[in-house]
Structure 1
Amino acid sequence: MATGVSICSNALLMLGAQTINSFTDSDNIDRAKLCSNLYPTVRDDLIRAHPWNCCVKRIRLAPNATAPAFGLAYAFQMPSDCIRIMEVTSRNYQIDYKVEGRSILCDEAAIDLRYVFKNQDESTWDSSLVSLATLAMAARLAYSVTQSASMEQSRMQEFQMALRVAKAVDGQEEPPETMGDERLLAARMGGGW
């Protein structure tokens, strides 16, 4: 079962370094601190970089009690675990919206949100994402552990190539997106509004 510690330990192994047992490992305190400092940022950047199927949620949002000062009619608080918005819809149609701070502003009274969430439970990740996180950590740790710029560059190139493949594979699990205004298409096909 994958964990943040196992991902970091495997990255250290790839660099020929001693593994850690926890982020507070007293036997390898320097490497444990390095991993505990770098891993959350690497994890969140990797999750945000692509809408991984294992990191996607849906939620229906109700508007905040306080409306925006001007412009749009409603404000919705983004979920606390949201790190990337994928789609905002109302009544099954994509809508125009703005993001300001941690709020979504629009003219609809209720919205459905599909988003990438900060999935901190690595045991729920796809095996490709676990492998990518390991490669990303190896690239990020490479210079600190080996003092070799060429090792850092080599690990980064390996990560970049694996990222392209993993994104393609993950993206093939979803049907292709449609183009155009669904409301217009529905009206033309007799579906109306």
Structure 2
Amino acid sequence: MTPTDICNQALDILKEAEITNLENDNRPIVRWMRRNFDTSRDSLLSRYDWNFALQRVVLAASAEQPAFGWSHAFTIPHDCLRVLPVTVCGHSEGTPVRHEVEGACILTDASGPLKVRYVRRTEDYDRYPASFIEALAAYIAMKCGHWVTGKVSYVQVAQGLYREAIDVAWRIDAIEGTSPRAADDNWVAMR
């Protein structure tokens, strides 16, 4: 799977001619796809906690402290699209750590190391579930539909396909894994 393949699926929705190569074709629609593909991909990735795009990292405190308000700063990895709620143990069900995300840092009074989960930018398209690819293609079609076709009806078709595809993709993604657990309750496990 490549960006060209995903863009061709978007063009299929709009009943437009396929692209042979996203990098070398200079038609207006291909230039639009080149300009907007990465942003559209990252936008859709950052909207949900997609299992295939989640990453865990343990961050050490930065040597440079925040100017005011917080005691410590932790640099966010460069591929981070969205930081998930920060907890003491790093699990989503854990005890929250008071923090704020500012620029490329997580600011907090916690001394660290900080266990962080985040949605990352991933360009390994072969790892994308088919349901996500369908949602991304429909999202791109929805965004460029009027520009390409000049017809609102094609945009409406793309919107409907996008809503359906994102719903299916999110439901499939949500059932992977086990039920939440009380991650911070070590004393319960020791009893």
The aligned counterpart of 2:125 is 122
In structure 2, the residue corresponding to 1:141 is in which secondary structure? helix
CA contact (8 A) 1:46 1:133 kept: yes
CA contact (8 A) 2:83 2:116 kept: yes
- Quote the Cα distance in structure 1 between the aligned partners of 2:47 and 2:65: 31
> 1:91 offset after TM fit, Å?
4.7
State the percentage of identical aligned residues.
27
Give the whole-Å Cα distance in 1 for the aligned partners of 2:23 and 2:119.
29
Structure 1 equivalent of residue 98 of structure 2: 96
Per-residue CA deviations over 1:30-55 (Å, capped at 9, x if unaligned) read: 12101111211211111011111111
Kindly report the root-mean-square deviation, in angstroms, between the aligned alpha carbons of the 2 structures: 2.1
Once residues 57 and 78 of structure 1 are traced to their aligned partners in structure 2, the CA distance between those partners, rounded to angstroms, is 12
Change (3 A) 1:49 1:91: closer
CA distance in 2, matches of 1:190, 1:40: 45
Q: After TM superposition, where is structure 1 displaced by more than 4 Å over at least 4 residues in a row?
A: none
| 1:61-140 matches, cutoff 5 A | 61-91=59-89, 93-94=94-95, 95-106=97-108, 107-140=110-143
Tell me which residue corresponds to 1:177. Answer: 180
| Structure 1 length-normalised TM | 0.86
What letter corresponds to residue 78 of structure 2 in structure 1? S
CA 1:91 to 1:11, structure 2 compared with 1: closer, same or farther past 3 Å?
Answer: closer
Of 152, 157, 164, 1:149 maps to: 152
Which runs of no fewer than 5 residues in structure 1 stay unpaired?
Answer: none
TM-score normalised over the length of structure 2: 0.87
Matching residue's letter, 2:18: T
Aligned-partner residue type, residue 150 of structure 2: Q
**Distance apart, 1:159 and its partner CA:** 0.5
CA distance in 1, matches of 2:142, 2:112: 46
Q: In structure 2, list runs of 5 or more residues that go unmatched.
A: none
Letter in 1 for 2:125: E
